[in-house]
Amino acid sequence: MSDHDVFLADCPARTTLDLVADTWSVVVVFGLGGGPHRYGELCDRIGGISKKMLTQTLRKLERNKLVERRVLATAPAGVEYRLTPLGQSLLGPVSVLARWAEEHAEELADDASAP
Amino acid sequence: MSDHDVFLADCPARTTLDLVADTWSVVVVFGLGGGPHRYGELCDRIGGISKKMLTQTLRKLERNKLVERRVLATAPAGVEYRLTPLGQSLLGPVSVLARWAEEHAEELADDASAP
DNA sequence: CAGGATCCTAATAGATACTG
DNA sequence: CAGTATCTATTAGGATCCTG
């Protein structure tokens, strides 16, 4: 890009963040952490997510091979989602973030999400 | 986990993400990882960040006590930023994310950031 | 030097209604 | 049941100019 490559912006941590830093990805991954779930189940389990965002998030996770989609041959038909091994491998790193938040909850401003 | 804990959305991992999941927070934290830096230095080191976003990101990190701001009594005057102990404690968890990205780079879609 | 103030655009996410 | 399709409000982030 430029002559001197001080472009910290492509630090690898950002790659992971690009993947899961949106509002719902992590929540969905955790939602599937306990095992496969059907679309509707997942929606209920998560609570507060719109169907649009659930679908959109699942598609993104699918494209990145974190989640696998299977159409069930049951009646009535359904669709099941599960974490791939790659998706499961992400549970660890994300749990590390979760633990950090729990340990330091009191030190953080209460409006951590504010710009 | 109890019978039904809906609203996974307040999972603690999201707290950390709210804090650092924007485009620049992690980059700035890493930029300060090696030690204190002045505003301009930091800007150069990072490269590609606008002053608006740098300031805004620093303020957010400051509010959450990850970063400390010190006005220098030098001539010409300057401002120095450094990680607080809390900020340093975040380097570990974020590095875990970075390592995950490096290990699995090939398995991910090349457009991981796409919606 | 280190920002603040403004303007502007593209992307995000929610609500709602409709469909195979 | 598992999605699309719209429409809309909010937000993030860049560019530019101004200031103590």
Identify nearest nucleotide to residue B80 by CA to C1′ distance. Answer: C2
pLDDT tens string, chain B, 115 residues long: the values are 443 455 566 788 898 999 998 999 999 999 999 999 999 999 999 999 999 999 999 999 999 999 999 999 988 899 999 999 999 999 999 999 999 999 998 898 777 888 8
Pick from B60, B114, B97, B104: which is nearest to A14 by CA?
B97
Look at B114 and A63 and tell me if their CB atoms are within 8 Å.
yes
Q: What is the pTM of this model?
A: 0.90
Class of domain A12-112: mainly alpha
Residue B18 three-state SS = helix
Tell me what pLDDT residue B108 has.
87
More confidently predicted of A13 and B85: B85
Which residues on A lie below 8 Å from B84 (Cβ)? none
Enumerate the domain spans of chain A.
Answer: 12-112
A110-113: long-range contacts (C-beta < 8 A, 24 or more apart)? A111/B63, A112/B15, A112/B18, A112/B19, A112/B64, A113/B18, A113/B19
Q: Check CB contact under 8 Å for A46 and B89.
A: no
| Protein residue ranges contacting nucleic strand C, Cβ under 7 Å | A 22-24, 49-53; B 38-41, 51-52, 55, 58-59, 69, 76-79, 81, 115
Contact call for residues A69 and A32 (beta carbons, < 8 A): no
- The pLDDT tens digits of the residues spanning A51-102 come to 999 999 999 999 999 999 999 998 889 999 999 999 999 999 999 999 999 9
Cα–Cα distance for residue pair B32/B86, rounded to 1 Å: 13
Confidence at residue B1, expressed as pLDDT on a 0 to 100 scale? 45
